[in-house]
Amino acid sequence: MAGKIREGGGDDLEENSEINVTPFIDVMLVLLIIFMVAAPLATVDINVDLPSSVARPAPREDKPVFVTLKQDLTLSLGNGTVARDAFGSELDTITSGNKQTRILLRADKAVGYGDVMDVMNLLRTAGYPKIALVGLEGAPG
């Protein structure tokens, strides 16, 4: 409890039942300044070369359908090369017209990102929305 000195003098202290919030406000302002200084230091802005995943691969279908984009930008469907204009009909023949078949897309490491996207758009145009990208399996080198 706080005490209050009377104006008339004397040694008696009168009890004051009001809450003094000034120390509380001072503590809150100090904490606010500490957090304002510490918050920018808590963000991570470091370039890191993250390792590749070694998770178990998803189970494959009985007869997977592979579409391969070679370094010279030719397309292969299964083991045979196919022209881009006949790609949709050849894919329909292999999948028996099942548009929900998962297509496994393999691309050479030297092929650009835009060329891979062109093949993915070709697959979507043919009506195959389920496309999976294939990479090397196992531990990173």
Confidence (pLDDT) at 139: 47
State residue 3 phi and psi, 5-degree precision.
Answer: -110, 160
Q: In the structure encoding, which two tokens stand for residue 76, read together?
A: 């292969």
Confidence (pLDDT) at 48: 43
- Identify the H or E element spanning 13: strand 13-16
Confidence (pLDDT) at 4: 57
Question: Domains in the chain, ordered, with CATH?
Answer: 65-134 (3.30.420.270)
Mean pLDDT by 10 residues, the chain (141 residues): 58 74 89 88 55 64 83 86 89 89 86 90 92 70 50
Confidence (pLDDT) at 5: 58
Confidence (pLDDT) at 123: 93
Q: In the structure encoding, which two tokens stand for residue 35, read together?
A: 């957090």
Confidence (pLDDT) at 109: 80
* pTM value > 0.75: no
Q: How far apart are CA 140 and CA 103, in angstroms?
A: 25
Confidence (pLDDT) at 122: 93
Q: How far apart are CA 106 and CA 68, in angstroms?
A: 5
